[in-house]
Amino acid sequence: MSDMQTQTGEPLLRIEGLTKFFPVSGGKRLFAVNKVTLEVGKGETLGIVGESGCGKSSMGRTILKVYEPNEGKIVFDGKDITKLSRKKMLPYRKRMQMIFQDPYASLNPRLTVGDIIEEPMTIHKIGTPASRKAKVQELIGVVGLKPDHIRRFPHEFSGGQRQRIGIARTLALEPDFIVCDEPISALDVSIQAQVINLLERIQKERGLSYLFIAHDLEMVHHISHKIGVMYLGHLVEYGDADEIYKRPKHPYTQALISASPVADPKSAREKHRIILEGEVPSPLDPPPGCPFSGRCPHVRDECRQILPDMYDYAGRKVACLQYSPKAQGITLQ
Amino acid sequence: MSLLEVRNLTTSFKTDQGIVTAVRGVDYRVEKGEILGIVGESGSGKSVGMFSLMGLLADNGSVTDGTITFDGEDITPPRGTDRKGRSAYEKKMRAIRGNKIGMIFQDPMSYLNPILTIERQLTEGIRCHLKYDKKKAREYAIELMGMVGIPNPKTRLRQYPFEFSGGMRQRIIIAAALACNPKLIIADEPTTALDVTVQAQILELIQKLIKNTEAGVIIITHDLGVVASLCDRISIMYGGRIMEEGTADEIFYDPKHPYTKGLLGSIARETGDEKEPLKPIPGTPPDLLKMKDGCPFAPRCEEAMVVCVDHNPGNTEFSGTHRCSCWLHCMEKVSTVAAPGDGADDAAGGVGAPPPKGGGTGGRTDDKHERLVETGGGKAARPHQAGDAQAGVGDDAGPGPEKGGPAVGRSEQPVEAAAEKEPRHNKGHHAAFAGLSKIFGKGVAAHV
């Protein structure tokens, strides 16, 4: 995938050991994102899946420096932006944008659609008022809305249309990288596909990169080139989307994929479901060792003591001791 | 006789903007030991239908038409404001709710009272309906909690809802719903608020518990994945009407309605090695305030014809279990179409079989549908024709100047004429009812 690299050979975005914790009462720390390392190439979509509270949204926000990272490095287009000041961050903000989950809460109800789409350009002082208006006209068309929608207010639109408005606003600054934070979760099934197709079309036309956060595994598999699976703030499996979806290696990924209901009665009847015991533990009180050890059907004693690294295995990275070089050496013998 | 039989259910709400008819002539039945899935997007009326049948509508809502029969008893809510009728109905329903019909709701946190212990909430129904004393009720509650997989039920019973996780709360609600051995269980989006791995636990639990009872189950959801693995039969709702109904296999592998096909095209499905592009349904869900009498899906349907706009199609039966409400299939199977004139007669006379009649009326029906085929057949010419024809139908004008015009004008005449006798808003339902009564007639006969 040579065209997915920038000219310098660097991926568009690289994060290394990114950590974000929130101090909570009692002097404790809640680790929302825990030493996550991953890359997003140019024109590529990285899907992030995981259950609620696993830190996937926090990670998206930390990458955009909405939250200041506590540890680790964010490298965007070859430049380390981890420690940049607000002011120095501005040119990068233009290139890194976000689409939010709730199209009802993320649009200002007092602004017209035209104002909403124009606002980012005004803030970043791009173009003249006339050229901005022309840009708004263009974007409205790109996302499949009608020109007479420009003077209307958000409340006049349905969820899917609002999400289109949000996408138009995001595109106003012509970003290279967009964090899509559950962009379809709030939408009806028939509308979800419209938004997904729109995102895919825009990506093809403009060579955008997406970090696509969602909990719908089928949709993430559909839209992503690579997938990262998160559990309790940790990235537990990361690699090619098809590989992970069809041949998951981490016990959590296996359970997640087997548990997600398939809209196909025959395969649903044949499918062997791995039903996990219990629920996701509180991130305030994670188990020692591997975060998944408390629910893992293959748990061994060492899992409760050692936090696994991301090991290279079967063309991907897996954070599970059964794939550690040591374990692999043993199985080979 | 079916455990639950709902016919032509129509529910309206009075709002400041006008009357919203959320459920528009819906029919379904549930047999003992059967799981029926009702699938629809937001605003399709799938939950309102359930609230109507439980008599739990908000003050501004009322059931304006239809009948509901549960376990041989008529539980149709009384229309109008007759005090006596209302209180008798309330009394009857109090004995049924939570007793013969158990309910599982979407959001376990808003269903449980945060300031009462689990014991209080779980034993309330047991004490009320089964007349257990406090001690016996507590023992039974502990047993129930064990059955739904809650560890340490004795300690947990004394705790408050906030001390439970989402999945555990949902288990408590399931325990409460099953407490009185209901004959029917209604689960309204039982797993929507839960994470995938917990959802799998709950679905497995529901499946396991239902196997042990004779209860019929209705599962309401927007998730096609949930119904695929769980349900015997599936009803697809849109805009307050049932678009298609069939067994899981019929719906997923042989969908007939354009909306069902659209829904299946909208979800990412694993089919072979290649990722298929999604085929979304264009447009947006209907505004219930501005609904016409025709097929609610017509404005978004790629195969919509002129008739679809103002006339609700009758039902077409494909098998004993599979039926679909779409004009496209009425053309294929002329005999099952409810032409309001003949159809109404059939319904009144209780005639079950729907063979085409040789007589004058039958001839007219056939003729009519020939015309419809003519009208909608040519896809390429459709936009042009549709424009003309719509105008023609709208103002009841005579034949238009175009080729398509006269056909439509004439073809619509029987429908329009018959509709004249009925209040306008009832027309669609009437047609649907006529078609359905045939099916139900057959269905009931087969069952008895």
In single-letter form, the type of residue at position B78 comes to: P
CA-based Rg of chain A, rounded to a whole angstrom?
A: 21
CA distance between the termini of chain A: 35
Q: What is the pLDDT of residue B187?
A: 93
pLDDT at B308 over 50: yes
* Interchain CB distance below 8 Å, A196 and B278: yes
How far apart are the C-alpha atoms of A36 and A16, rounded to whole Å? Answer: 6
Q: Which residue, chain included where needed, has tokens 């549908």?
A: B369
Question: Which of B165, B198, B225 is closest, CB to CB, to A261?
Answer: B225
List, edge to edge, every strand of the sheet that includes B241-247: B101-104, B184-188, B216-221, B35-39, B233-238, B241-247, B323-324, B316-317
Hey, of A161, A194, A264, A284, which one would you mutate to test binding to chain B, going by the most B CBs within 10 A of its CB? Answer: A264
How far apart are the C-alpha atoms of B192 and B394, rounded to whole Å? Answer: 42
How far apart are the C-alpha atoms of A306 and A289, rounded to whole Å? Answer: 4
CA distance between the termini of chain B: 6
Average pLDDT, chain B: 76
pLDDT digits (tens, 9 = 90+) for B395-414: 333 333 333 333 333 333 33
Among A216, A120, A217, residue whose Cα is nearest residue A165: A120
A275: contact with B, CB 8 A cutoff? yes
Q: Give the mean model confidence (pLDDT) for residues B30-38.
A: 93
pLDDT at B445 over 60: no
Q: Give the mean model confidence (pLDDT) for residues B357-366.
A: 36
Q: How far is B274 from chain A (nearest CA, A)?
A: 10
pLDDT at B368 over 60: no
3-class DSSP state for residue A22?
strand
Q: Are strands B73-74 and A311-313 parallel, antiparallel or unpaired?
A: unpaired
**How many residues are listed for chain A in this entry?**
333
Per-residue pLDDT of chain A (333 residues; tens, 9 = 90+): 444 444 456 799 999 999 999 998 888 899 999 999 999 999 999 999 998 889 999 999 999 999 999 999 999 999 999 999 989 999 999 999 999 988 888 999 999 999 999 999 999 999 999 999 999 999 999 998 989 999 999 998 888 899 999 999 999 999 999 999 999 988 888 889 999 999 999 999 999 999 999 988 889 999 999 999 999 999 999 999 999 999 999 999 999 999 888 888 888 888 888 888 888 888 888 899 999 999 999 999 999 999 999 999 989 999 999 998 888 776 544
Cβ neighbourhood burial of B315 (10 Å; 0-12, 13-18, 19+): buried
pLDDT at B421 over 60: no
pLDDT at B386 over 80: no
Residues in chain B with CB shorter than 8 Å from the CB of A193 are 265-267, 278-281
Q: How far is B90 from chain A (nearest CA, A)?
A: 35
Measured on CA atoms in the order B124, B126, B128, B134, is the torsion positive or negative?
negative
pLDDT digits (tens, 9 = 90+) for B154-185: 999 999 999 988 888 999 999 999 899 999 99
Q: Kindly state the tokens that stand for A70.
A: 């506590």
Q: What is the pLDDT of residue B332?
A: 53
* Interchain CB distance below 8 Å, A269 and B282: no
* A230 close to A197: Cβ distance less than 8 angstroms: no
Does the structural domain B4-82+97-240 have CATH classification 3.40.50.300? yes
Q: What is the pLDDT of residue B367?
A: 38
What DSSP character marks residue A303? G
What DSSP character marks residue B195? -
pLDDT at B315 over 60: yes
Give residue ranges of B with CB < 8 Å to any A CB: 41-42, 165-168, 195-201, 203-204, 222-226, 228-229, 248-249, 252-253, 262-270, 275, 277-282, 284-285
How far apart are the C-alpha atoms of A165 and A153, rounded to whole Å? Answer: 11
Q: What angle do CA B84, B85, B87 make, to 5 degrees?
A: 65
* Interchain CB distance below 8 Å, A262 and B195: no
Comparing B197 with A121, which gets the higher pLDDT? Answer: A121
> DSSP letter string over B20-79?
EEEEEEEEEEE-TT-EEEEE--TTSSHHHHHHHHHT---TTEEEEEEEEEETTEE-PPPP
In single-letter form, the type of residue at position A38 comes to: L
H helices of chain A, in order, are: 56-63, 86-95, 113-123, 129-142, 159-171, 189-206, 217-223, 241-246, 251-259, 265-270, 325-332
* Interchain CB distance below 8 Å, B196 and A217: yes
pLDDT at B188 over 70: yes
Question: Which of A51, A193, A265 is closest, CB to CB, to B196?
Answer: A51
pLDDT at B363 over 50: no
Spans of all domains in chain B:
4-82+97-240, 294-447
Q: Which residue, chain included where needed, has tokens 């069952």?
A: B447
Of all residues in chain B, the percent with pLDDT exceeding 90 is 42
Q: Give the mean model confidence (pLDDT) for residues B34-44.
A: 91
pLDDT digits (tens, 9 = 90+) for B223-276: 998 999 889 999 999 999 999 999 999 999 999 999 999 999 998 776 555 677
Question: Which of B228, B278, B284 is closest, CB to CB, to A263?
Answer: B228
* A127 close to A206: Cβ distance less than 8 angstroms: no
Q: For residue B294, give the H/E element and its range.
A: none
- CATH dotted code for A2-332: 3.40.50.300
Q: What is the pLDDT of residue B147?
A: 87
Phi, psi of A227 (to 5 degrees): -130, 140
Q: How far is A14 from chain B (nearest CA, A)?
A: 27
How far apart are the C-alpha atoms of A229 and A213, rounded to whole Å? Answer: 10
* A303 close to A243: Cβ distance less than 8 angstroms: no
Phi, psi of A11 (to 5 degrees): -70, 160
Q: Kindly state the tokens that stand for B43.
A: 């605003």
Question: Which of A190, A256, A279 is closest, CB to CB, to B280?
Answer: A190
How far apart are the C-alpha atoms of B186 and B101, rounded to whole Å? Answer: 7
- Cα-Cα-Cα-Cα torsion B329, B335, B340, B344, nearest 10 degrees, comes to -130
Residues in chain B with CB shorter than 8 Å from the CB of A194 are 280-282
Is this complex scored with an ipTM above 0.95?
no
Among B284, B283, B308, residue whose Cα is nearest residue B390: B308
Q: What is the pLDDT of residue B270?
A: 65
How far apart are the C-alpha atoms of A39 and A309, rounded to whole Å? Answer: 17
Q: What is the pLDDT of residue B294?
A: 87
pLDDT digits (tens, 9 = 90+) for B83-103: 888 899 999 999 999 999 999
- Cα-Cα-Cα-Cα torsion B268, B269, B270, B276, nearest 10 degrees, comes to -60
Q: How many CA atoms lie within 13 A of B8 on its CB side?
A: 19
Of all residues in chain B, the percent with pLDDT exceeding 70 is 72
CA distances from B280 to A226, B263, B271, B283, B316 (A): 24, 8, 17, 9, 25
- Cα-Cα-Cα-Cα torsion B22, B349, B354, B333, nearest 10 degrees, comes to -40
Q: Give the mean model confidence (pLDDT) for residues B326-349.
A: 51
pLDDT band with cut points at 50, 70 and 90 for residue B293: confident
pLDDT at B351 over 70: no
pLDDT at B350 over 80: no
How far apart are the C-alpha atoms of B38 and B14, rounded to whole Å? Answer: 25
- Cα-Cα-Cα-Cα torsion B314, B317, B320, B323, nearest 10 degrees, comes to -70
Q: What is the pLDDT of residue B336?
A: 43
CA-based Rg of chain B, rounded to a whole angstrom?
A: 24
Q: What angle do CA B102, B107, B113 make, to 5 degrees?
A: 80
How far apart are the C-alpha atoms of B430 and B437, rounded to whole Å? Answer: 10
pLDDT digits (tens, 9 = 90+) for B98-143: 999 999 988 777 789 999 999 999 999 999 999 999 999 999 999 9
Among A234, A168, A241, A244, residue whose Cα is nearest residue A35: A234
Residue of A nearest to B247 (CA): A265
How far apart are the C-alpha atoms of B332 and B352, rounded to whole Å? Answer: 20
Residues in chain B with CB shorter than 8 Å from the CB of A197 are 277-278, 280
Spans of all domains in chain A:
2-332
Q: How far is A32 from chain B (nearest CA, A)?
A: 18
In single-letter form, the type of residue at position A111 comes to: L
Q: For residue A313, give the H/E element and its range.
A: strand A311-313
A168: contact with B, CB 8 A cutoff? no
